[in-house]
Amino acid sequence: MRNLLCILCVSFFSYAANARVITVGKNKSYTTITEAIQRSAGGDTIKVFSGIYHEKNLVINKPIVLMGIDYPVLDGEHRYENISIKSPGVTVQGCKVIQSGVSSMEDFAGIKIYNTHDVIIKDNILEDTFFGIYSQYGTNCTIQNNRISAYGKEEQQSGNGIHCWKSDSMRIIANKITGHRDGIYFEFVTHSIIWRNTSEKNLRYGLHFMFSSNDAYITNIFRNNGAGVAVMFSHDVKMFHNYFEENWGDAAYGLLLKEISDSYIENNRFVKNTIGIFMEGTSRIEMNNNVFERNGWGMKVQASCMDITVTANNFIGNTFDIGTNGSLVLNTFNGNYWDKYDGYDLNKDQKGDVPYRPVSMYSVIVEKNPPAMMLFRSFITTLLDKTEKVLPSLTPENFKDIAPLMKPLRL
């Protein structure tokens, strides 16, 4: 063990001692990056000065730092993958990566990590790439502070902004992604964190989770994406302090949960979505301190969900608070604030004395017969809603908040 440590120390210092800085650019030691990489050794820093570089496919197969000064442009000419990282310990920083190849056979990316670990990709600008940053079997990599934009028109012609596949311990921090198919895509990614990213105006999902467990996404903004955010077939996902805004359309959800279990949704804001949260086949979810504001439907909880606990959330100004498709209710709603609640509080404990039923008769009718939306807010539907409140017949009997709050929570 001690020997090993010694070897490590020695090799580290020898590295540090030998590390050189190689400059690339006009009137610098090299004019192409490819050449500079060939001549470099592990631990070197390659400084690339501004200019336009046509490197075709730049392969980084040594643990070096590729550092752009004043955003040198790496042009993929719509044919090549700009940067392929095939060695651990690589840092790519401060480059402007544009026009990667587009292919339906291969997943070309602006920057792609192949089967390696400890890679840092930060402060880059990616424009008009097919996939933006792609991690394939990446481990312990950091993707930070990149600006990724594409101008895709169709889903088939466009890749994902940050795409992680079979990766582990990834850190996706403070990136801005727009115009791709999915802003951030996770498939078989574990123990990773997505933090402080902004993902907006993407064609499909702002964030797309598939089979990715033990991940957290915190303080992100997902705005105006084609279909919002989807989290599917995963467990132990933590969703805290995110903004889900203005995801409009028939199949657009602030947050779509499908086959999710053992997860936490806390302190998020759902504003102006057609559907705030749509849940299907979801179980054992804790939902606390979220705000649902001005959505078409605050939540749609399908009857296939169970053991979902919804406590201490604000529902304000939603057209419908909750929609559901059956009469089976295996979830708990308790102590939320509903602005439509018109009960009373005689003992002044700040909790309403009569339960609130968040599923209105009319939302049940619309669920069964969508064209009935035409009669929305008409006199007859108001009458039906009032009668239903007195004598529940169509709405699920057990779907109720037994201790609704009288005042909104400060969130």
The residues binding another protein (CB under 8 A) are 248-250, 252, 272-275, 294-297, 316-317, 319-320, 339, 365, 368-383
Residue 26 or 377: the one with the smaller Cβ distance to another protein is 377
Residue 320 or 399: the one with the smaller Cβ distance to another protein is 320
| Distance in Å, CB of 79 to another protein, minimum | 39
Picking from 161, 106, 149, 142, the residue whose alpha carbon sits closest to that of residue 125 is 149
| Distance in Å, CB of 404 to another protein, minimum | 16
| Distance in Å, CB of 270 to another protein, minimum | 10
| Distance in Å, CB of 84 to another protein, minimum | 41
Dist CA 44 CA 37 (whole Å):
9
Residue 239 main-chain phi, psi, to 5 deg: -125, 105
Residue 186 or 278: the one with the smaller Cβ distance to another protein is 278
| Distance in Å, CB of 291 to another protein, minimum | 13
H-helix or E-strand spanning residue 364: helix 361-368
| Distance in Å, CB of 345 to another protein, minimum | 16
Dist CA 110 CA 90 (whole Å):
15
What are the distances in angstroms from CA 232 to CA 213, 238, 281, 370? Answer: 10, 13, 10, 26
| Distance in Å, CB of 204 to another protein, minimum | 16
Dist CA 335 CA 406 (whole Å):
9
| Distance in Å, CB of 359 to another protein, minimum | 15
| Distance in Å, CB of 375 to another protein, minimum | 5
Residue 17 or 374: the one with the smaller Cβ distance to another protein is 374
| Distance in Å, CB of 97 to another protein, minimum | 35
Residue 200 or 215: the one with the smaller Cβ distance to another protein is 200
User: What contacts 257, CB < 8 A, 6 or more positions away?
Assistant: 231, 232, 263, 277, 278, 279, 280, 282, 285
Residue 91 or 395: the one with the smaller Cβ distance to another protein is 395
User: What contacts 162, CB < 8 A, 6 or more positions away?
Assistant: 132, 133, 135, 143, 146, 148, 172, 175, 177, 183, 184, 185
Residue 177 or 316: the one with the smaller Cβ distance to another protein is 316
Dist CA 355 CA 351 (whole Å):
10
**Does residue 35 contact residue 14 with C-beta atoms inside 8 Å?**
no
Dist CA 15 CA 98 (whole Å):
33
Residue 25 or 298: the one with the smaller Cβ distance to another protein is 298
Burial of 175 (0-12, 13-18, 19+ CB in 10 A): buried
Residue 62 or 300: the one with the smaller Cβ distance to another protein is 300
Dist CA 408 CA 161 (whole Å):
37
Residue 209 or 292: the one with the smaller Cβ distance to another protein is 292
**Does residue 247 contact residue 224 with C-beta atoms inside 8 Å?**
yes
Half-sphere exposure at residue 81, Cβ-oriented, CA atoms within 13 angstroms: 19
Tokens standing for 241? Answer: 């302090």
Picking from 194, 240, 182, 190, the residue whose alpha carbon sits closest to that of residue 212 is 190
